[in-house]
Amino acid sequence: MNFGRSIRIYLADGTPSGIRHVEITNWSGQALLCPRSRFSDLSQWDEVKRPGVYFLLERALNDNEYRVYIGESENVLQRIGDHYQNKDFWNEVVVFTSKDENLTKSHIKYLESRLVAITKSVGRYIIENGNNPTESNLPRADRDSMEEFIEYLKIVMGTLGHKLLENIKVEKISKTQLSESEKMTTSGIDLYFKIRDLTAIGQITDEGFTLLKGSDVSSAIQPSFKGGIKDLKEKWLSDGTLVLNGDNYKLQKDVVLSSSSNAAMLVAGTSRSGPQSWIDNEGRTLKAIEEMIAEKMGT
């Protein structure tokens, strides 16, 4: 069962794009996010002059292409200073340290190793780390404490807009399993799109429209498509997200797209209306489902 949490984000200069200090109620950890352009301001923060882990992050112009370097240091500020001079891909850094200063070198080595492993397993970001960090051997109580630290760290990273540690959420439920209140949402319901010899399955999720593993994707693409979907398809072919399957492609993992229309166009290779293309197992279009929900809400 998920519980609500209170997160405190302090905007150091009063703007949402500057340095942000993040805390969660009843958590000993803390986070500091800093744009690369404000790196010199970090020297004013004692929170980053202690042992911790950090993420050097690139939010690229292409929304589907992110890169990250994950590291640890007994003096995070000093280590980031080295990266500031020698790594130019990143445009913001997120640092995690402890408010009670109880993180040791063994703790942060363990955290670094686990965070790299989780990021690789999730597969949302390209990892810039050249090697797999060695996981330090901690007593069981300390391991459990660090795993709890990671769970809070995931919440903070997601809140800050970086979901590199979160698996793409997919639910397998049917309408018969839902209460009346839960039926007032499209979330978690399988939607199908069939065209020619292609069959795709997707879901509306909190992140956008998730196209599910195993979906067919057309090898053809409308000539007028420039950038966007065309570039995305080429990227997925190069990294193995799409593989050749007969005359078309097969999706090898769940992927998130910004809308149902983008998902439908990717599958069909032609311009499509997502709300009109995707249907549930009762034969209703996504548009009809959303109209029904809006009507029940009185909007």
Q: What is the mean pLDDT of residues 180-205?
A: 78
Q: What is the mean pLDDT of residues 205-232?
A: 82
pLDDT digits (tens, 9 = 90+) for 74-84: 999 999 999 98
Is the Cβ–Cβ distance between 252 and 123 less than 8 Å?
no
pLDDT of residue 148: 96
More confident residue, 220 or 198: 198
pLDDT digits (tens, 9 = 90+) for 147-175: 999 999 999 999 998 989 988 777 665 55
Counting residues of the chain whose pLDDT is more than 90, the rounded percentage is 50
pLDDT of residue 115: 96
Instruction: Report the Cα–Cα distance between both ends of the chain, in Å, rounded.
Output: 31
Please say if the pLDDT value at position 182 is more than 80. Answer: no
pLDDT of residue 17: 86
Residue 60's pLDDT band (cuts 50, 70, 90): low
Residue 5's pLDDT band (cuts 50, 70, 90): confident
Counting residues of the chain whose pLDDT is more than 70, the rounded percentage is 89
Residue 102's pLDDT band (cuts 50, 70, 90): confident
DSSP strand E in the chain: where? Answer: 7-11, 20-24, 29-35, 52-59, 66-73, 92-98, 126-127, 191-195, 198-205, 208-211, 216-217, 242-245, 248-251, 255-257
Is the Cβ–Cβ distance between 236 and 203 less than 8 Å?
no
Structural tokens at position 91: 């445009």
pLDDT of residue 186: 58
pLDDT of residue 171: 65
Please say if the pLDDT value at position 179 is more than 50. Answer: no
pLDDT of residue 208: 82
Residue 227's pLDDT band (cuts 50, 70, 90): low
Mean pLDDT taken over the chain: 87
pLDDT of residue 169: 72
Q: What is the mean pLDDT of residues 81-94?
A: 90
What length does the chain have? 299
Is the Cβ–Cβ distance between 80 and 39 less than 8 Å?
yes
Alpha-carbon distance 274 to 265, whole Å?
Answer: 8
pLDDT digits (tens, 9 = 90+) for 20-49: 999 998 899 999 999 998 898 999 999 999
Please say if the pLDDT value at position 237 is more than 60. Answer: yes
pLDDT digits (tens, 9 = 90+) for 260-295: 888 999 999 888 899 999 999 889 999 888 888 878
